Amino acid sequence: MKNLKKRIRGGETLIGCWLNLGSSITAEIVGMAGFDWVLIDLEHGSGTDSDVLHQLQALEHTPAAPVVRVESYERQRFHRILDLGAEGIMCPRINNPAEAQRAADALRYQPQGLRGVAQMVRATGFGANSKDYLASSTETLVGIVQVESKQVLEHLDEVAAIDGIDVLFVGPSDLSMALGIFGQLDHPRFIDALETTATAARKAGKAAGVLMRSPEEFTKYHDLGFRFIACGADATFVASGARSTAGTLNELRTSSGRQ
């Protein structure tokens, strides 16, 4: 474990990005780039469960703490990912406190939660560290729920107060779509939702998180109170680098007359 939860509780500003190619190679490259955390995306990414293990192994020797976004708050989805050694789980489209509680319960063993016990898994060193892992997981595993609907905005204080939920993470595309202002991230309704999220997190001693479109938005979100901030993804890094290089070469070819 890389103390991600401790750093969140300490109020640090933590930067991260998405991994959506399902590649252990790009996971390792991004993990070594200087991010505090990275998110392996099983909701929209191209990777599958079988790719998660290889990405977690690739990230093991990097400074970046691995978080995985699952598709739902069903506890079985949490079990397999946590057993593989993820340091946290992000759960999308949480609409109310009951759903958030189910996500928190899936992170924790009984009696605090509902996670099933398996000792011969990667998270426990295949049995070598079972006792320590079982005893410390409540204090080390990070629970992140996404704020992406109009419904959850009415219950943010209750969601933030749930033990086991560490981060309220705004998904800008889904939330702005839900508010009827898709992509208008400077719209007053969206700004109000951001402020409501940050306030609820702060009152509960939790962190507010967001996915930015560009690094230039950092000051805006930080000033609003966001401390768990992501920008970019392995796919966008590859795409932008490829387009930039190809574009430059095409310009040089055209300007030199070497068609």
Residues forming the active site: 44
- Which stretches within the chain are classed as H helix? 4-9, 24-31, 49-59, 75-84, 97-107, 130-140, 150-153, 156-160, 172-178, 188-203, 218-224, 234-256
Report DSSP letters for 150-212, one per residue. Answer: HHHHTSHHHHHTSTT--EEEE-HHHHHHHTT-TT-TTSHHHHHHHHHHHHHHHHTT-EEEEEE
Residues 134 and 33: their CA atoms lie apart, in Å, by: 31
Closest CA to 148 of 197, 206, 214: 197
The tokens for 19 are 């991994």
Residues 50 and 44: their CA atoms lie apart, in Å, by: 15
Residues 47 and 49: their CA atoms lie apart, in Å, by: 7
